[in-house]
Amino acid sequence: MPLDLMHDVFSGGKYGKAALVSSFGAESAVLLHLLSRVNKAAPVLFVDTQMLFQETLDYQLHLTETFGLTNVQRISAESETLRRNDVFGRLHLSDTDKCCDLRKLAPLNTALQEYDTWVSGRKRHQSMSRAQIEVFEQDAGRTKISPLADWSRDDIAAYFSEHDLPRHPLVAKGFASIGCAPCTTAVKAGEDARAGRWRNSEKTECGIHFENGKIVRPAA
Ligand code: SF4
């Protein structure tokens, strides 16, 4: 049961010092709500790439207040680092891997240094590339836990309905998975939820998530 597992992680201390990493995206409210039921003061790491939709920033504030979360940490690359590496905010047009490294991976990796465990909202149903994920994985010396790994779309929808959770405003516009504004489009009926991420590219993950122990990169 995800609630029991969340209790073990964030209230029982069973897996050491732990943080939840959330994008405050289309389905993030489920895991954040579960967290609020076990420990509202637990750390939540929100990586703000400074390329996000305004709707995501607004939704982050709304969910934080609605769920009473008291330790949401907004993490970004240092402004000097951005100035040196992507002064015009156009790196994503030429090299999405470098851009994700700069704006997501590096700030998150720095923030995770002090934790033994991090918790992710990944689910197997989201895409073919996530079909094999496990609830417990090892990731760069840390335990990575995905409590909702085996939840289906129907499970997610039922939880939203049961707890009357607020929806990300872009969901109503066809966005099933929501990342940075320049790299996210709506999806059509029948597509993977993540088909709108880096559309027309081989890239499927930002690199925050690993598969089979390897960082996910585009095919050569
Ligand atoms: S998703 Fe796009 S804009 Fe966001 S960090 Fe990655 S490449 Fe850059």
206 included as an active-site residue? yes
Q: Which residue out of 81, 97, 183 has the highest number of ligand 1 atoms within 8 Å of its CB and is therefore the one to mutate?
A: 183
The class of domain 2-172 in CATH terms is alpha beta
The CB of 177 under 6 Å from ligand 1? The reply is no
Q: Which of 48, 51, 185, 208 to mutate to test the pocket of ligand 1 (most atoms within 8 A of CB)?
A: 51
Check pocket membership of 92 for ligand 1, CB cut-off 6 A. yes
Give the relative orientation of helices 54-67 and 28-38 as an angle to the nearest 10 degrees.
Answer: 20
Domain ranges of the chain: 2-172
Residue-wise pLDDT tens for the chain (220 aa)? 899 999 999 998 999 999 999 999 999 999 999 999 999 999 999 999 999 999 999 999 999 999 999 999 999 999 999 999 999 999 999 999 999 999 999 999 999 999 999 999 999 987 777 788 999 999 888 999 999 999 999 999 999 999 999 999 999 999 988 999 999 988 888 888 788 787 777 777 776 664 444 444 333 2
Full-model pTM: 0.90
According to DSSP, residue 103 is labeled I
Q: How far is CA 105 from CA 13, 53, 65, 100, 206, in A?
A: 26, 19, 27, 6, 8
